[in-house]
Structure 1
């Protein structure tokens, strides 16, 4: 659905797909990174923001705990969108002392209502968090391919 404001066409919804899978291994544990997936909310209003985030996480050491998280950021305001934080996938392996090969995949949804006073850019950020200091993550990344996509969507409701 579209409308007009001052002769400019305004879309009431938008959708974007992460074009390819990406690694989170280049950033330090606990540091959020820009995934490159973003949308522009075209005007003031109340929006439903939805993201589906697919991730995979691998560990190669026994007794480890790590997760991949995601959040939405209002780039224009320089702030995290309230209540948009989510754990996408987590590995917690507490038994034994021998090396263990684990890799988990998962997807999660982020759904929030967000009111803005003007046009805004919203982006998806992700983080790899190693909770235990005794080891490090072997593999961590977001997926977006024919198996499942990482997506971001808005719909203006008011």
Structure 2
């Protein structure tokens, strides 16, 4: 059994989302590349972790959510078990009230082990899904109020 204190870090890297990703006009369910990526330089076992921050604004009758995952660009495959629900708004329509717009922002972590046979590029991908009216705003963001980040540590 390996304990956290006995793990030896061989290499590490860190990236910050360089520009916000606007998902407002994208097709529901279509994954989008973000500009946040790291390069794993050698074969080995890695700890990958990300923090993804999103913002949504939606009207009554909308069920909208933003998801994120880690994508191995080199292999052309999703990093197993890296999918995360970042933020969701689910509103119902009230026949007795006027339309109310709700919104907010939230950040979630992704943390997975990943073993690769050689160098790899790992990127955060994001998606917007919705039913009902399209959301007024759907973005993955990074600024001084909260960063979207991707980090790795090679442990073997």
TM-score after normalising by structure 2: 0.89
Q: What value does the CA root-mean-square deviation take over the aligned residues?
A: 1.2
Within a 5 Å distance, the mapping from 1:19-34 to structure 2 comes to 19-34=18-33
Work out the CA distance in 2 between the residues paired with 1:20 and 1:120. 22
Q: Is the 8 A contact 2:56 2:105 kept in 1?
A: yes
Distance change >3 Å, CA 77–CA 21, structure 1 → 2: same
Instruction: Verify: 1:15 aligned to 2:14, yes or no.
Output: yes
Q: Deviations over 1:33-64 (max 9, x none)?
A: 0011111000000000000000001102x122
Q: Is the 8 A contact 1:69 1:86 kept in 2?
A: yes
Shift of 1:104: 1.9
Secondary structure of the 2:136 match is strand
TM-score after normalising by structure 1: 0.88
Q: Is the 8 A contact 1:90 1:104 kept in 2?
A: no
Within a 5 Å distance, the mapping from 1:33-72 to structure 2 comes to 33-60=32-59, 62-72=60-70
- Counterpart of 2:137 in structure 1 is 139
Work out the CA distance in 1 between the residues paired with 2:49 and 2:26. 25
Work out the CA distance in 1 between the residues paired with 2:20 and 2:73. 22
Consecutive unaligned residues of structure 1, counting only runs of 5 or more, are 1-10
Aligned residues: 145
